[in-house]
């Protein structure tokens, strides 16, 4: 039993990495089987983010298979201990057992190193897989954000263009209505001005004709007044003559009266003496006739004088009324001229407003053209986003190539493991069962590799479908772009008459465009930072990735 003690000690030393000293056979179920806490530490992060993928399940199965292999090694150790304790061997059997023990110890040492490396690489692979899935999620999130931002930007631009188009149409309708109203007002004012001018001209002609008639009447009245004056002078002269004649007649009458009185006295005396009528009665009758004629002449002269005075007064009053009317007509003429000047001022102001509105329409045309330039700049920004998407796809293709390289290294490691398994198969008949277990592990590994390949194909299909959806989205966006370009061309053709009005709005839009460019630059900087971070992370994880995949393949 002295030869069995060193073998037992050596076997205990070789299996120290799989058990704790002094624990006995119960270590088989406690040391080489991961506790739920350990599994939660290894896979908890991935499970918290989105559940276990088939690849992660395969890795967990490989870990369980490694634990099972360790348990089987412990049971094999106990079997060897029982064999060494119960059997008595010869020297040749002891030497043969020593050689087999040495080979077994070497295989166990190799298995120990491989198991340790596999565990470490399995952990690295799990971390890389979790990081890759987190990166994919982050990339998907970024793509969704970019797509949403692009859609929002297009919707906002379309809404702004529609609102500006409606505003421009309303302004055009208002300006057209205002222009029609102004044209109607201008036509009405022109008609009123023409009517007032014709009326003033007619009144002026009438005033001129009336003035000429009045002048003729005045001249005629002056002539008649002169004739009347001459007649008055003649009448005055005749009146003076008649008065002189009256005086002479009165004097003669007095003389005749005195003579007649004397004659009457003489006649009375004669009649009284002879009884014959006297001729004084006939003379008295003649005197009475003369008095009556004189009174008639005086009344006629007085009536003639009064009639002439009344006619002169009437003509004077008519002339004064005409003069007052002529004094009022220049005020009406001045009022009409002032109204005409106001109408002309209104006409000039209306023409000035029309010119201002034409200038505003020209500014609207310039603003529409600037809006088209802004839309083209937004299309350029969309193309830059498409380029960023293509760069992300190239990065994904690079990751796929790296996965293929890792798969090749895994196959190389599989071949190495196959050689090692073959060498273990020739070690001992006692290890045939263990070799069968290793073959079972190999079959599990092949199944895991098949699952990995299937998962990779699914990932490729998913990437292809995503790429096709992106291509479809790109085609839709290009169709939308062409449609909007056609709409913009049509709008540009229909809005060339209103380009200048949008100049102020264009400055605001340019400011917002600069802000969007700065926002885009910040997003681009963030994307570059993410790219650099991912590149740094992948560059640091590449050197140990092959061994990780090899170890996981061995365990499976």
Check pLDDT > 50 for residue 1.
no
The angle, 0 to 180 degrees and rounded to 10, between the axes of the packed helices 432-494 and 280-425 is 160
Q: Residue 174 and residue 383: Cα distance in Å, rounded?
A: 39
Residue 464: band (very low, low, confident or very high) from pLDDT cuts 50, 70, 90:
confident
Q: Which pTM was predicted?
A: 0.23
Residue 307: the pLDDT is 67
Rounded to 5°, angle at Cα 490 from 487 and 496: 130
Chain segment 147-156, per-residue pLDDT in tens:
787 777 777 7
Cα 91 to Cα 78, 88, 95: the distances in Å are 23, 10, 6
One-character DSSP codes across 205-222: HHHHHHHHHHHHHHHHHH
Residue 131 · residue 551 · CB < 8 Å: no
Chain segment 496-508, per-residue pLDDT in tens:
665 666 667 667 6
Residue 22: the pLDDT is 38
Query: Mean pLDDT of all residues in the chain?
Result: 65
pLDDT average, residue stretch 439-468: 75
Higher pLDDT, 503 or 270: 503
* Domain parsing of the chain, residue ranges: 181-362
Residue 3: the pLDDT is 45
Residues contacting residue 179 through CB under 8 Å, at least 6 positions apart: 354, 357
Q: 6-20, 154-168, 273-287, 488-502 — which one is most confidently predicted on average?
A: 154-168
Q: Residue 21 and residue 50: Cα distance in Å, rounded?
A: 40
Q: 164-168, 182-186, 300-304 — which one is most confidently predicted on average?
A: 164-168
Q: Residue 33 has what DSSP assignment? A: S
Higher pLDDT, 158 or 297: 158
One-character DSSP codes across 370-439: HHHHHHHHHHHHHHHHHHHHHHHHHHHHHHHHHHHHHHHHHHHHHHHHHHHHHHHHTT-GGGHHHHHHHH
Find the Cα–Cα–Cα–Cα dihedral 97, 99, 102, 106, rounded to 10°.
Answer: -120
Residue 37: band (very low, low, confident or very high) from pLDDT cuts 50, 70, 90:
very low
- Show the 3-state SS of 346-383: HHHHHHHHHHHHHHHHHHHHHHHHHHHHHHHHHHHHHH
Q: Residue 200 and residue 442: Cα distance in Å, rounded?
A: 122
Q: 215-224, 301-310, 404-413 — which one is most confidently predicted on average?
A: 404-413
Q: Residue 207 and residue 18: Cα distance in Å, rounded?
A: 138
């Amino acid at each position: 039993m002295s030869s069995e003690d060193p073998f037992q000690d050596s076997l205990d030393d070789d299996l120290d990495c799989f058990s704790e000293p002094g624990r006995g056979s119960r270590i088989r179920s406690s040391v080489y089987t991961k506790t739920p806490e350990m599994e939660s530490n290894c896979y908890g992060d991935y499970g918290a983010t989105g559940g276990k993928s088939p690849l992660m399940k395969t890795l967990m199965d490989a870990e369980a298979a490694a634990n099972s292999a360790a348990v089987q090694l412990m049971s094999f150790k106990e079997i060897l201990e029982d064999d060494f304790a119960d059997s008595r061997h010869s020297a040749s059997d002891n030497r043969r057992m020593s050689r087999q023990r040495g080979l077994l110890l070497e295989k166990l040492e190799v298995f120990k190193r491989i198991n340790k490396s596999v565990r470490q690489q399995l952990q690295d692979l799990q971390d890389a897989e979790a990081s890759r899935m987190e990166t994919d999620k982050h990339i998907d999130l970024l793509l969704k954000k970019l797509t949403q931002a692009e859609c929002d930007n297009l919707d906002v631009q379309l809404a702004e263009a529609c609102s500006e188009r409606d505003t421009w149409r309303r302004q055009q309708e208002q300006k057209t209505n205002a222009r029609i109203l102004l044209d109607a007002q201008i036509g009405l004012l022109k008609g009123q001005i023409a009517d007032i001018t014709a009326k003033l001209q007619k009144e002026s002609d009438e005033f001129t004709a009336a003035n000429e008639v009045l002048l003729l009447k005045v001249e005629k009245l002056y002539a008649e007044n002169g004739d009347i004056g001459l007649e008055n002078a003649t009448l005055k002269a005749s009146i003076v003559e008649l008065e002189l004649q009256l005086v002479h007649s009165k004097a003669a009458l007095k003389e005749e009266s005195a003579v007649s009185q004397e004659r009457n006295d003489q006649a009375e005396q004669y009649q009284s003496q002879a009884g014959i009528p006297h001729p004084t009665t006939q003379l008295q009758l003649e005197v009475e006739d003369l008095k009556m004629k004189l009174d008639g002449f005086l009344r006629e002269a007085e009536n003639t004088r009064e009639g002439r005075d009344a006619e002169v007064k009437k003509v004077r009053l008519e002339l004064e009324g005409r003069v007052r009317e002529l004094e009022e007509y220049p005020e009406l003429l001045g009022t009409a001229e002032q109204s005409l000047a106001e109408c002309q001022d209104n006409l000039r102001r209306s023409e000035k407003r029309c010119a201002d509105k034409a200038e505003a329409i020209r500014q609207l045309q310039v603003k529409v053209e600037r809006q088209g330039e802004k839309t083209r700049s937004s299309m350029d920004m969309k193309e830059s986003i498409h380029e960023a998407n293509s760069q992300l796809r190239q990065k994904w293709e690079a990751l796929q190539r790296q996965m293929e390289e890792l798969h090749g290294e895994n196959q190389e490691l599989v071949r190495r493991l196959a050689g090692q398994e073959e060498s273990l198969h020739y070690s001992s008949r006692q290890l045939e069962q263990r070799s069968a277990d290793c073959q079972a592990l190999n079959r599990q590994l092949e199944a895991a590799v098949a699952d990995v390949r299937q998962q990779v194909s699914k990932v490729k299909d998913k990437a292809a479908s995503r790429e096709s959806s992106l291509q479809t989205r790109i085609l839709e966006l290009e169709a939308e772009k062409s449609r909007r370009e056609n709409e913009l061309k049509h709008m540009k053709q229909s809005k060339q008459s209103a380009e200048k009005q949008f100049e102020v709005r264009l400055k605001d839009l340019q400011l917002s465009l600069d802000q969007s460019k700065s926002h885009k630059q910040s997003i681009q900087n963030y994307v570059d930072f993410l790219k650099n971070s991912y590149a740094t992370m992948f560059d640091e994880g590449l050197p140990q990735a092959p061994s990780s995949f090899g170890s996981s393949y061995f365990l499976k």
